């Protein structure tokens, strides 16, 4: 049995997982940083990197402890190196390199976005490729055509805000705290999703692009009108807030579903795999399930615990392990979005 230690530090979650070649999770640990970033209503890169430094080794120890393994029981070290926050990625990479060097183990690089789609394979325990992959999270909203797990073709993505970022920004306008996505989804349950006709950019355009900046601005104007405003001091009627949340959520979900259908039709694929934090949104899942049923396409969505950033999805490293695709110790990070 082959066993890999996967390390994830792309943003503000410090995570490690021990996984075998049957994609069984032997141990998994995550240290969240939400309490550190909440006062700033968003992730502060320097704070995130410092927290990773403090937490990475204890998190690895916890994962190994759950697996009842020591470093000598590992066959490789895998680490996410792209995309992500530069200083956060560096912490994970240096840790992985150190372990690989001192234990004389192969080093494997992970593309964080590819791993989000691979979470569907880990959960379903079956080969999910080829497929169209939709990654929808706080930092990314992108569509890929996956012939296999590690060499997708970029189909299109957001030209401004990611869907998850828009959720957090609108939640901030409604004073729902950070991270705001789950709180906004909860508030939307009591709202009228048809009250506001918020824009759905590019929904009828065959170009596979997303844009949520205009939607975010439309929500702002609906809540506060024009001009400068301190949302912390703004008193918003509770029903208005719920209706805004529901109408906003519906607009985002409509666009994501429409573009997923377009991507399937343009590629000729009959399977959609979805990962990323926004994939945990219940209303989005509901609309996507109905649409894929009508489209006669198979839908695989990562379970909620594998939607947000985690190291379990680093099981994608086995694809490279079996192909002998290892990295040298001069491996570097690639913080920006790599479209391939």
**pLDDT band, residue 339 (cuts 50/70/90):** low
φ, ψ for residue 145 (rounded to 5)? -100, 110
- pLDDT tens for each residue of 154-199: 999 999 999 999 999 999 999 998 888 999 999 999 999 999 999 9
Distance, CA of 113 to CA of 99 (rounded, Å) = 24
- pLDDT at site 232: 67
Distance, CA of 135 to CA of 115 (rounded, Å) = 10
3-state class of 124 per DSSP? helix
Distance, CA of 123 to CA of 303 (rounded, Å) = 7
Is pLDDT of 219 > 90?
Answer: yes
**Residue 214 CB coordination number (10 Å):** 14
User: Which of 220-229, 255-264, 284-293 is least confident?
Assistant: 220-229
- pLDDT at site 338: 62
Is pLDDT of 340 > 60?
Answer: no
Chain mean pLDDT for the chain: 94
- pLDDT at site 230: 67
Tally of residues, the chain: 340
In percent, how much of the chain has pLDDT > 90? 88
- pLDDT at site 249: 98
Is pLDDT of 40 > 90?
Answer: no
- pLDDT at site 152: 96
- pLDDT at site 281: 96
3-state class of 225 per DSSP? coil
- pLDDT tens for each residue of 125-138: 999 999 999 999 98
Is pLDDT of 318 > 90?
Answer: yes
Extended beta strands in the chain, E state = 3-8, 13-20, 25-32, 76-82, 107-111, 131-136, 141-146, 153-157, 271-275, 298-301
Strand partners, 7: 16, 79
- pLDDT at site 234: 73
Kindly list the structural domains of the chain, giving each domain's residue range(s) and its CATH number in brackets, ordered by start: 3-105+310-323 (3.30.420.40), 117-306 (3.30.420.40)
φ, ψ for residue 86 (rounded to 5)? -55, -55
- pLDDT tens for each residue of 64-121: 999 999 999 999 999 999 999 999 999 999 999 999 999 999 999 999 999 999 999 9
Mean pLDDT, range 27-39, rounded to an integer: 92
Mean pLDDT, range 18-36, rounded to an integer: 95
Mean pLDDT, range 298-306, rounded to an integer: 95
3-state class of 154 per DSSP? strand
């Amino acid at each position: 049995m082959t066993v890999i230690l996967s390390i994830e530090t792309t943003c503000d979650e410090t995570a490690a997982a021990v996984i075998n070649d049957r994609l069984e999770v032997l141990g998994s640990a995550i240290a969240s940083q939400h309490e550190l970033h909440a006062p700033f209503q968003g992730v502060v890169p320097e704070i995130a990197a410092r927290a990773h430094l403090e937490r990475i080794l204890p998190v690895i120890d916890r994962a190994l402890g759950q697996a009842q393994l020591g470093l000598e029981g590992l066959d490789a070290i895998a680490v996410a190196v792209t995309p992500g926050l530069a200083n956060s990625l560096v912490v994970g990479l240096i840790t992985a390199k150190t372990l690989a060097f001192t234990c004389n183990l192969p080093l494997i690089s992970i593309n964080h976005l590819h791993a989000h789609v691979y979470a569907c394979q880990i959960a379903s325990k079956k080969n999910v490729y080829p497929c169209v992959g939709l990654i929808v999270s706080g930092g990314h909203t992108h569509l890929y055509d996956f012939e296999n797990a590690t060499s997708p073709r970029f189909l299109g993505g957001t030209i401004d805000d990611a869907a998850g970022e828009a959720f957090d920004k609108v939640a901030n306008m409604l004073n729902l705290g950070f991270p705001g996505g789950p709180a906004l989804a909860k508030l939307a349950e009591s709202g009228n999703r048809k009250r506001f006709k918020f824009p759905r950019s590019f929904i009828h355009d065959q170009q596979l692009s997303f844009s949520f900046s205009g939607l975010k601005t439309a929500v702002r104007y609906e809540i506060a009108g024009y001009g400068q405003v301190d949302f912390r001091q703004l008193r918003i009627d509770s029903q208005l807030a719920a209706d805004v949340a529901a109408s906003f959520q519906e607009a985002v979900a409509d666009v994501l579903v429409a573009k997923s259908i377009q991507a399937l039709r343009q590629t000729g694929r009959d399977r959609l795999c979805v990962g990323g934090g926004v994939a945990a949104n219940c209303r989005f899942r509901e609309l996507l399930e109905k649409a894929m049923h009508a489209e006669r396409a198979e839908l695989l969505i990562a379970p909620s615990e594998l939607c947000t950033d985690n190291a379990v999805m680093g099981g994608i490293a086995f694809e490279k392990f079996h192909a002998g695709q290892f990295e040298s110790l001069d491996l570097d990070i690639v913080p920006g979005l790599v479209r391939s």
